[in-house]
A and B are shown apart, each in its own frame.
Chain A
Amino acid sequence: AQSVTQLGSHVSVSEGALVLLRCNYSSSVPPYLFWYVQYPNQGLQLLLKYTTGATLVKGINGFEAEFKKSETSFHLTKPSAHMSDAAEYFCAVGTQGGSEKLVFGKGTKLTVNP
């Protein structure tokens, strides 16, 4: 069975600083990995996803994530935080066999300080 661990339920950065949100996964088969963002009172919006191919994935709003099989990680980064990045971020792993199921992490709430 797949699982996802997001290290740190809260992360606080200053505006303009590097954003690093950590995600580690467990999967018995090659995973498909996703990052979603949830703004207050809204649903989840896809930031980026990794399926196959290039391990560095670029998403919307300047975010990117790198798939590292040896470390079973898929950390999300952004070089320079903006106030509008304040939200909750969820990492998710796709299950094997073509199932539509996604397993989500508990989420990391990002605060951006002026």
Chain B
Amino acid sequence: ETGVTQTPRHLVMGMTNKKSLKCEQHLGHNAMYWYKQSAKKPLELMFVYNFKEQTENNSVPSRFSPECPNSSHLFLHLHTLQPEDSALYLCASSQASSARNQETQYFGPGTRLLVL
């Protein structure tokens, strides 16, 4: 158990649907992340939230909209996605600090998304 949970684990949606992915961390961390994992490509960082404030948006299309209501929960709202958005979406959390220490990121099991 990693202490980071994600729901749903699998999602199939049409291009006109609206859906949301949910991530919850039970580790008391203050930073949360969304990653996209596609076949044969490196893990791509999408968004970073630090103390509920978005600190990174890695040129992600606006059809992906993150929301971080508190330091334990992170959502990814999906709207009018494309088939190429099909991938495994991973959430992670860490205890970010102001020092230069690179804190370990703990990952959830991911949501396998298929866009038809």
Contact = CB atoms under 8 A, between A and B. Distances in A.
Interface stretch (A18-26, A61-69, A78-86, A93-101): A93-101
A34 B109 CA distance: 19
A51 interface: yes
Contacts of B101: 51, 98
B50 interface: yes
Given A104-B42, A104-B43, A98 B100 contact: yes
A17 interface: no
Interface of B: 2, 4, 6, 31, 33, 40-43, 45, 48, 50, 55-56, 90, 92, 94, 96-110
Given A43-B110, A100-B94, A101-B45, A34 B104 contact: yes
A100 B107 contact: no
A97 to B, nearest CB: 7
Given A43-B2, A51-B102, A106-B42, A100 B90 contact: no
Given A49-B104, A98-B101, A44 B90 contact: yes
A34 B50 CA distance: 21
A90 B41 CA distance: 12
A101 B48 contact: yes
Contacts of A101: 45, 48, 56
20 contacts: A32-B102, A34-B102, A41-B109, A43-B6, A43-B107, A43-B109, A44-B92, A46-B105, A49-B104, A90-B43, A92-B43, A94-B102, A97-B100, A98-B97, A100-B33, A100-B94, A100-B102, A102-B45, A106-B40, A106-B41
Contacts of A4: 42
A39 to B, nearest CB: 10
Interface string A45-88: 11001010000000000000000000000000000000000000
Given A45-B2, A106-B40, A100 B48 contact: yes
